[in-house]
Amino acid sequence: MFARAAQGFVGILASMPRASKIGLTSIVGENLHIAGNLTTGGDVQIDGCIEGDVQGRNITVGITGRVIGKIVADEAVISGSVSGGIVAHSVVLTGTAKVACSIRQERMSVEAGAQIAGLVERPELQLPKPSRMNGETEILLIDRVYWTRQKSNRWVPLEA
């Protein structure tokens, strides 16, 4: 009777549809610490710590997750901490995100409470370095709008 029950169970598993390899998510658990690079063609959920670069299709850094290295992905959803850099088509920073690095992206969403320390840039927009005029005024081009700052240290749009 035990053998028959086991056969029936195996038959149920064999008849269940299997997920495609692209649909699977690799999970770095909360208690896992990886020292080295992680590369995949699929999705990664990081709840532990990775000291190295992470590359994949969709990278999610959970609230307890930490990446000390560069993230390269189609989509990056950050709820934990990242230091090292983010390069992605789409970046989502949730309210618990702590990012201390540069972010290069095409689309970005930032929830209230997210902490960002670093340069945020788009690939097609190359910003010139601020130029000083008369030693007191700076002019900077941001997203096709010129901004200026005088002694007050307050940036305002420069009228054409």
pLDDT of residue 121 exceeding 60? yes
> Considering just the CA atoms, what is the radius of gyration of the chain in Å?
23
Q: 36-57 pLDDT, tens per residue?
A: 999 999 999 999 999 999 999 9
Domain encompassing residue 92: 19-121
- pTM recorded for the entire structure: 0.65
Q: Say how many domains are in the chain.
A: 2
82 and 52, same structural domain?
Answer: yes
Q: Are 65 and 28 in contact (CB under 8 A)?
A: yes
* Whether residue 148 is found in the same domain as residue 108: no
**Cβ-contact 26, 40 below 8 angstroms:** yes
